[in-house]
Amino acid sequence: MNVAHLHLLLNHVPTVGSVVALGLLLLALVRRDEGLKHAGLEVLFAIAVLTLPVYVSGVAAYRELREQPGMSELAVLLHQDAALAGFALTELAGFVAWVGLWQTRRRGRAAPGIVPVVVVLLTVSVAVMARAATLGGEIRHPEIRAAASSAAVAPDPDQFVVTAISTVAVYSTWLWPAAEAVHFLGLALVFGVLLAVNLRILGVAKQVAFADVHRLLPWGMLGFGANLITGMFFFIGQPGQYVGSSPFYLKIAFLMIAGGNFLYLTVLKRPWAADRPEPGLADKAMAVVSIVAWLGVLYGGRMLPFLGQAF
Amino acid sequence: MWAFPAVLTLHTAGMAVLVGASWVLDLRLLGLNRHVPLSSFRWVFPAVAIGLIVNLSTGIVLFMKNATTWGTSIPFLVKMTLVIASVAMLVPLRSLVLGGEAREVPDSARGLAIASILAWAGAVTVGRLLAYV
C-alpha cells in the first residue's frame, strides 16, 4: 500500500461521509431531536479532520502517477481545484459544527442558527465533492468521461487556483516568511490553551471548574485555524517539499490524534455534572495523549527541513 | 547532524510553553473568565520557568552556530530586546498572581497584559524571520 492507495480509500470519507452527516442533521431538524443533532455535528467534525489526509494524499498520488503514460495534467488540475474548494467548504462546515458542539456543552444546546448554516454549507460541499470525485475518477477512467468532457476543453493551466497559490508562494519574497511567523504564533496559542486544559485535567488548579478551562477552547481553535490556513498555503505552494517527506506524514498522523482529542475535550461530559467530579483515569490518559500528540505535530513540522526538504 | 534539528525542536517546544502559558494568563487579565481567582494561575510560572530554561540553553547553542552574523544583526538584537521585555513584564504579573485571592485586575496590569501579548508576538515573529535574513 502506498499514499496513492490511501487516497483511493480515504476519498470516500468526505464524499460519502458528508451525505451521511447531512442526512443525520436533516433528520434531526425534522424530528427536533437534540441528541441526533449532536451526533450529526460530531460526525461532521470527524469528517472535517479526516478530509485533511484525503487532500494531501491526493497530491502525493498525483506525484506518483504523473510519470505514467496517458496521464492528463489538465484532468488532475481540474480535480485538484474542485477538491480544494470541497476541502475548504468541509473545513468551514466542520468549524461551524465545532462551535455548535462547544455551545451545546456549555448551554445544553447550540445557537439556533448553527445547524441550518451547517446544512447549507454541507449541501454546497456535497455538490462540490461530487464534482471533485467525478473529475478524480476521470483521471484514470477515460471510459466515464463524457463526450464533451470539461477536460477536453483544454483550459489554460494558469487559471487554476492551486497553480495561482503556488506561483505566489514561489515568487513573493515576503509572503512565505510572513505565513511562517503566523504559523508559529498560532502554534504558541494552541499549546498555551491545551497546556491549561490538560494540566487542569491532570489535577493542577483543582479549584478551577472544568467549565472555565473549556472557555479557553475557542482560543485554541483560533490558533489552529490560523495554522490550517498557513499550513495549506505552504502545502499548496510547494507540495514537493512535503509529499515525499516522512516527518510530514508523521505530522498529519499526530494531527488526526490531536483532532480526535480536541473533539473529546469539547464534548467531555463528566466534569460538568452538578457535583463536579474530578476527571477519571481515562480522562487523564487522554490529557497525556493530547500533550504527546501536539508535541508530535510540532516535532514532525520542525523536522521537515531536516528529514525532508522543506525550508 | 542530529544535534541541530533536535535543538531547534526543543527551542520551538520551549517557545510554545513559554509564550502559550504567558498568553493564557494575559487573556485572564484582559477579562476572560474574570470570576476565576488570579491565584488559580500559579501553574503559569513554573511552566514559564521551564520554557525559559529550555530556550535559554538551546538559544545559546543556536546563537553559537550563527554568532558572527547574528551578534551584529538588527533583527537578532530586536528579538533579544523583545524577549527580555516580555520576561521582565512577567515579574510584576507574578507578584500579582501570587499575592492572594484577588479577582480584581488593576488597570496597570491590564496594560501590562496587552504589552506582554504584543511583545511575545513580536519576539516569535522576529525569531522566525531570523531564518530568512
Chosen domain end from A141, A159, A177: A159
Q: Which of A65-69, B46-50, B115-119 has the lowest mean pLDDT?
A: A65-69
Chain B hits for A187, Cβ within 8 Å: 12, 16
pTM: 0.93
Report the alpha-carbon distance of residue B111 to residue B21 in Å, rounded: 18
Q: Are residues A119 and A182 in the same domain?
A: no
Q: Are residues A114 and A152 in the same domain?
A: yes
Chosen domain end from A159, A184, A210: A159
Answer yes or no: is A108 within a domain: yes
Q: Are residues A40 and A129 in the same domain?
A: yes
Query: Average pLDDT for residues A283-301, to the nearest whole number?
Result: 96
Answer yes or no: is A310 within a domain: no
Is the per-residue pLDDT at B2 higher than 80? no
Residue B58 Cα distances to A28, B3, B21, B84, angstroms: 53, 11, 19, 16
Instruction: Report domain extents, chain B.
Output: 3-132
CA distance B101 to chain A (A): 12
The pLDDT tens digits for A185-221 are: 999 999 999 999 999 999 999 999 999 999 999 999 9
User: Which residue would you say has higher pLDDT here, B11 or A305?
Assistant: B11
How many distinct structural domains can be found in chain A? 2
Query: Is B128 in Cβ contact with A188 (below 8 Å)?
Result: no
The reply to whether ipTM tops 0.90 is: yes
C-alpha cell at A128: 462540490
Query: Average pLDDT for residues A18-27, to the nearest whole number?
Result: 96
CA distance B18 to chain A (A): 8
Residue A118 Cα distances to A98, A124, A265, B48, angstroms: 10, 10, 21, 40
Query: Is B20 in Cβ contact with A306 (below 8 Å)?
Result: no
Q: Are residues A170 and A136 in the same domain?
A: no
Q: Are residues A81 and A32 in the same domain?
A: yes
C-alpha cell at A135: 473529475
Could you tell me the residue range of the domain that residue A83 belongs to? Answer: 1-159
Query: Average pLDDT for residues B42-47, to the nearest whole number?
Result: 96
User: Which residue would you say has higher pLDDT here, A169 or A67?
Assistant: A169
Chain A hits for B40, Cβ within 8 Å: 205, 207-208
Q: Are residues A5 and A128 in the same domain?
A: yes
Answer yes or no: is A76 within a domain: yes
Is the per-residue pLDDT at A151 higher than 60? no
A196 inside 8 A of chain B by CB: yes
What average pLDDT does the structure give for chain A?
91
The pLDDT tens digits for B61-78 are: 999 988 888 888 899 999
So what's the pLDDT on residue A230? 97
Q: Are residues A202 and A225 in the same domain?
A: yes
Q: Are residues A4 and A139 in the same domain?
A: yes
C-alpha cell at B7: 535543538
- HSE (side-chain half, CA atoms, 13 Å) at A283: 19
DSSP collapsed to 3 states, chain B: CCHHHHHHHHHHHHHHHHHHHHHHHHHHHCCCCCCCCHHHHCCHHHHHHHHHHHHHHHHHHHHHHCHHHHCCCHHHHHHHHHHHHHHHHHHHHHHHHHCCCCCCCCHHHHHHHHHHHHHHHHHHHHHHHHHHC
